[in-house]
Amino acid sequence: MPSIIQLLPDHVANQIAAGEVVQRPASVVKELLENAVDAGASDIKLIIKDAGKSLVQVIDNGKGMSVTDARMCFERHATSKIRQAEDLFSLHTKGFRGEALASIAAIAHVEMKTKQDQEELGTHIVIEGSKFVSQDVAVLPKGTSFGVKNLFFNIPARRNFLKSDTVEYRHIIDEFQRVALAHPKIYFTFFHNGSEMFNLPPSSLRQRIVNVFSGKTNEKLVPVNEETEIVNIQGFVCKPEFAKKNRGEQFFFVNDRFIKSGYLHHAVMAAYDGLLKDGAQPSYFIYLQVPPNTIDINIHPTKTEIKFDDESALYAILRASIKHSLGQFNVAPVLDFERDANLDTPYHYKDLEGATPTIQVDGSFNPFSEEEKPNKHFTNTNSSYRRPESTSNWESLYLGLKQDSEEIDTMTFENETVTSSLFNNDEVEQAVHKTYQIHKKYIVNPIKSGMIIVDQQRAHQRILYEQFLTNITVHLASSQQLLFPLHLYFSNDEMQLISELKPSLTNTGFVFEETNDDSVVISGLPVNVSESEASIVLEQLLSDLHNGIPESSFSQNDTIAKSMARSLAVKTGTYLTEKEQENLVNGLFACKDPNVSPFQKPTFITMRVEDLDKKFAL
């Protein structure tokens, strides 16, 4: 047998390695930004086109490269950052693998310009798919510029696998923010398709956070500071009342490197114990400094996970220091020496007295009535709201066991021949006049062949989803005018998303009076969205888009309809009047696809008399 093993040619090996390093345009952004930081730049510009699919360019004023290094940097395992394995334990740079540039050059068109400060002239190199196309001497400013065009041009499968511009752009923003937050002393600017998205001059940490996430953020932050033998902790956590529904702004940095850690996240959440509403997520920006030899950054190829020597001590210290800060903030004004005076509340606001609260008395309130308020989601039907009978819910059947016994009898002993088919809508219509809500979660409804049990939350999601989808696509939505327009604040990148979604949102019934850099003024809302829900709906939508929901369902409209349905649907745990239960069941079966929620979960189950009989026969 002849020998068959061969070494792969370099360009093939590089392409394979690239798969690990470069998953999407955002990976290129991360690597180039990190290289610029490692080069000691004080000014870094990120320029992208078409969410990085056509161009990612990073320009820095760092130390630049010599002619030889300019050529060498594209070789695999070529790095100036470590020389021997031991250096891994005293790392002060972001990079160390020497793989990024080789990988990027293997799968894109790269143009690099670089010049060292002391040199007269710089080097200009063009390399495409690992092939050097040209190398010239050029007059250049100090520093390095990397332009990466046509990513994955030679791997069509990869290119086709890229998500929509909105999703890819979102990933780029994430990477940009992580680097910008880790280095407040570096001037960062970011342009997308010619518009300036971020302009972050060198500043204090607090000011950097505020510049990245809009002016509103400042009042939400509480400083955290702790110095111990094993770790120094610095940063900010958000006041409990500003916690959000999504996990958007949660950042850990270890030695100026963004990391993810479920364990440390848990420590932060433990510090908030008892201060947050169920499921609420606080924003936090925590900077840990530890001796480089007590961590191992090498366990994850893209380096967002690291291993600490003494994780449990870190956990305890982090939890205690955040707890302390939150406590301090509750009892006394916090001394924050780093605070920028411009960010403080103007004095005349501080001295203003709060408005005297007014008391509204509901004259018809009867503390002994069991009735609860009708749910507004169901009041847009024609029939007027009817007082529920005293036996209208399941529990009361146990209490009274009188008036309804007749009805129960007929229901149980109705001697129907049981059809094996699933019940059809006719059946529901005939039987819908009596429903029971159990555990504020399910609606039980007798039908000819037995009964159905409807999950109220999922059913309502389905109804709203179909409504919104029709409104968006058929442009039929009506809106309610607001007496006082709502002013809602968003971060820069959230605003970008909102502008993109504006046409679709308008179709659902939102009326945008103004769209500014960091806020919108809304003068009309979809009929089923109340004023207090408006910001929740938009926030949920942004977070859904952030989490990449469109990846599974392709169209943005679909995402909007799903997200709004989820935010607005009546939740498990909500009491529904009989009328509301009835409307819900009717509404569900008027849907095109009543069987599943928009998230593909069953909305109801059927139990045939036959099934019940079987259970009793045991």
- Please choose which of ligand ADP, Mg ion, none residue 97 contacts, taking the beta carbon within 5 to 8 angstroms, the exact cut-off set by kind: ligand ADP
Contact between 80 and ligand ADP per CB under 6 A: yes
Selected binder of ligand ADP within 24, 28, 30, 60 (CB under 6 A): 60
- Please choose which of ligand ADP, Mg ion, none residue 73 contacts, taking the beta carbon within 5 to 8 angstroms, the exact cut-off set by kind: ligand ADP
Q: Which is nearer to ligand ADP, 132 or 263 (CB)?
A: 132
Write out the two tokens for 403. Answer: 């008036």
C-beta of 137: minimal distance to Mg ion in Å?
25
Q: Which is nearer to Mg ion, 74 or 378 (CB)?
A: 74
Name the closest residue to ligand ADP (Cβ): 95
Distance, CA of 494 to CA of 516 (rounded, Å): 12
Q: How many residues bind ligand ADP (CB under 6 A)?
A: 22
Contact between 13 and ligand ADP per CB under 6 A: no
C-beta of 126: minimal distance to ligand ADP in Å?
16
Selected binder of ligand ADP within 11, 45, 49, 81 (CB under 6 A): 81
Distance, CA of 164 to CA of 168 (rounded, Å): 6
C-beta of 294: minimal distance to ligand ADP in Å?
22
C-beta of 259: minimal distance to ligand ADP in Å?
17
Contact between 49 and ligand ADP per CB under 6 A: no
Selected binder of ligand ADP within 17, 36, 259, 501 (CB under 6 A): 36
Phi, psi of 332 (to 5 degrees): -140, 155
What 3-state class would DSSP assign to 443?
Answer: strand
Contact between 584 and Mg ion per CB under 5 A: no
Contact between 31 and ligand ADP per CB under 6 A: yes
C-beta of 290: minimal distance to ligand ADP in Å?
21
Which DSSP string do the residues of 279-298 spell out, in sequence order?
T-B--EEEEEE--GGGEEGG
- Do 423 and 434 meet the contact criterion of CB atoms below 8 Å apart? no
61: nearest Cα among 38, 93, 36:
36
Question: If residue 130 lies in a helix (H) or strand (E), which one and from where to where?
Answer: none
Distance, CA of 550 to CA of 544 (rounded, Å): 8
The distance between the two most distant Cα atoms of the chain, rounded to a whole number of Å, is 100
Selected binder of ligand ADP within 65, 167, 268, 306 (CB under 6 A): 65
Listed ranges 34-42, 199-207, 399-407, 537-545: which one lies at the site for ligand ADP (CB under 6 A): 34-42
Selected binder of ligand ADP within 14, 27, 61, 79 (CB under 6 A): 79
- Please choose which of ligand ADP, Mg ion, none residue 507 contacts, taking the beta carbon within 5 to 8 angstroms, the exact cut-off set by kind: none
Distance, CA of 522 to CA of 315 (rounded, Å): 43
C-beta of 144: minimal distance to ligand ADP in Å?
4
Q: Which is nearer to Mg ion, 60 or 544 (CB)?
A: 60
Given its phi and psi angles, is residue 288 left (phi above 0), alpha (psi -120 to 50 degrees) or beta? beta
CA angle, corner 212, sides to 207 and 213, nearest 5?
Answer: 100
User: Considering Cα of 129, then 135, then 141, then 144, what sign does the dihedral take?
Assistant: positive
C-beta of 100: minimal distance to Mg ion in Å?
4
- Please choose which of Mg ion, ligand ADP, none residue 462 contacts, taking the beta carbon within 5 to 8 angstroms, the exact cut-off set by kind: none
319: nearest Cα among 218, 391, 219, 226:
226
Contact between 97 and ligand ADP per CB under 6 A: yes
Q: Which is nearer to ligand ADP, 98 or 548 (CB)?
A: 98
Selected binder of Mg ion within 39, 100, 212, 259 (CB under 5 A): 100
Distance, CA of 401 to CA of 404 (rounded, Å): 7
Contact between 95 and Mg ion per CB under 5 A: yes
Query: In three state form, how does the secondary structure of 77-126 look?
Result: CCCCCCCCHHHHHHCCCCCCCCCHHHHHHHCCEEEEEEECCCCCCEEEEE
Contact between 588 and Mg ion per CB under 5 A: no
Write out the two tokens for 211. Answer: 């510049």
Which DSSP string do the residues of 483-551 spell out, in sequence order?
EEEEEEE--HHHHHHHHHHHHHHHHHT-EEEEE-SSEEEEEEEETT--GGGHHHHHHHHHHHHHTTTHH
- Please choose which of ligand ADP, Mg ion, none residue 81 contacts, taking the beta carbon within 5 to 8 angstroms, the exact cut-off set by kind: ligand ADP
Write out the two tokens for 587. Answer: 């509404």
Write out the two tokens for 606. Answer: 């059927």
In the shown chain, the binding pattern of residues 362 to 401 toward ligand ADP, with x for contact by CB under 6 A and - for none, equals: ----------------------------------------
Contact between 98 and ligand ADP per CB under 6 A: yes
Contact between 235 and ligand ADP per CB under 6 A: no
Q: Which is nearer to ligand ADP, 31 or 455 (CB)?
A: 31
Contact between 100 and ligand ADP per CB under 6 A: yes
Listed ranges 89-97, 138-146, 329-337, 401-409: which one lies at the site for Mg ion (CB under 5 A): 89-97
Distance, CA of 459 to CA of 461 (rounded, Å): 5
Contact between 393 and Mg ion per CB under 5 A: no
Listed ranges 10-18, 97-105, 164-172, 323-331: which one lies at the site for ligand ADP (CB under 6 A): 97-105
Beta-carbon neighbour count of residue 290 at 10 Å?
A: 18
Q: What is the CA radius of gyration of the chain?
A: 30
Residue 79 to residues 65, 83, 94, Cα–Cα distance (Å)? 12, 8, 12
Residues near Mg ion (CB under 5 A) are 35, 95, 100
Residues near ligand ADP (CB under 6 A) are 31, 35-36, 39, 60, 62-65, 73, 78-81, 95-101, 144
